[in-house]
Amino acid sequence: MTVTILITSGPTREYIDPVRFISNASSGKMGKALVQEALKQNCKVIAVKGPSDIDIPENKNCKVINVISAKEMLSAVKQNLKSADIFIGAAAVSDYRPVSVAKNKIKKKDIGSDTINLKLIKNPDIIKYVGNHKNKKVVVGFALETKNLLSYAKTKLKEKQLDMIVANGANTISSEKSSPVLIFKDGSVKKIKLVSKEKVAKEIINESIGIYKTVKTR
């Protein structure tokens, strides 16, 4: 049985004008580690990758789709979700985007003041969309918070109909190591000590495949 895993990775960019954008510090390291581990375990991978310096090589078992914005990422997920058995949303998707994008670079002399008001609108919630269309797919999300991490992660797990959520503190961003807590739909919790993101990825892939095998036999 070959398992196909759809993985989102890296940040998104929401442009304000042709040269400025809203984004975050996600490096894409976790997403790449998940892709590599899934391939080691003979899975097929569809990687939807936001803009980062981390390269994910494409091969016969790994399809790579490069995107920029949250809307582009959602479109790619929708187009490939039917092919996947497991979805892992490791991307750090921007929650908001500018209501409008200026056609030309915004110049200070055109603003007329020392402040600028930027009107934002909510981006689509990719993990929520997948949770609402999961059928028998396994859906894994990530939560990154600066406070009340476990409480927030448990709420997100339930509200977005996830099978597992990976809860991380903000210190994991761009780092080589991580010590997340895996929280499962049945309420069980698995704490991982500070290890490389490659070892964390192995834990996540193993647990995801284990959940998928259980769901498949129901």
Q: Characterise 11 by phi-psi region: left (phi > 0), alpha (psi -120 to 50), beta (else).
A: beta
Q: In the numeric block, which tokens belong to residue 5?
A: 């895993």
110-167 confidence digits (pLDDT tens): 777 788 889 999 999 999 999 999 988 999 999 988 889 899 999 999 999 999 999 9
| pLDDT over 70 at 87, yes or no | yes
Confirm whether 181 is domain-assigned. yes
- Which among 56, 201, 15 has a CA at the least distance from the CA of 66? 56
Per-residue model confidence (pLDDT) at position 209: 97
pLDDT band at 188 (very low <50, low <70, confident <90, very high): very high
Catalytic residue among 24, 66, 80, 148: 24
Confirm whether 207 is domain-assigned. yes
Confirm whether 110 is domain-assigned. no
Confirm whether 183 is domain-assigned. yes
Confirm whether 112 is domain-assigned. no
| pLDDT over 80 at 77, yes or no | yes
Per-residue model confidence (pLDDT) at position 81: 97
User: Residue 38: which CATH number?
Assistant: 3.40.50.10300
| pLDDT over 90 at 180, yes or no | yes
| pLDDT over 80 at 171, yes or no | no
Q: Exposure pattern of 107-125 as b/e (b: 16+ CB <10 Å)?
A: eeeeeeeeeeeeeeeebeb
Per-residue model confidence (pLDDT) at position 217: 67
pLDDT band at 108 (very low <50, low <70, confident <90, very high): confident
Confirm whether 178 is domain-assigned. yes
- Cβ atoms of 161 and 139 within 8 Å: the answer is yes
Mean pLDDT lowest for which of 94-98, 175-179, 182-186? 175-179
Active site includes 24?
A: yes
Per-residue model confidence (pLDDT) at position 65: 98
7-48 confidence digits (pLDDT tens): 999 999 999 999 999 999 899 999 999 999 999 999 999 999
Place of tokens 């209501």: 99
Give the rounded percent of residues in the chain with a pLDDT score beyond 90. 83
| pLDDT over 70 at 218, yes or no | no
Give the domain range for residue 45.
4-99+118-216
Please give the tally of structural domains in the chain: 1
Q: Characterise 174 by phi-psi region: left (phi > 0), alpha (psi -120 to 50), beta (else).
A: left
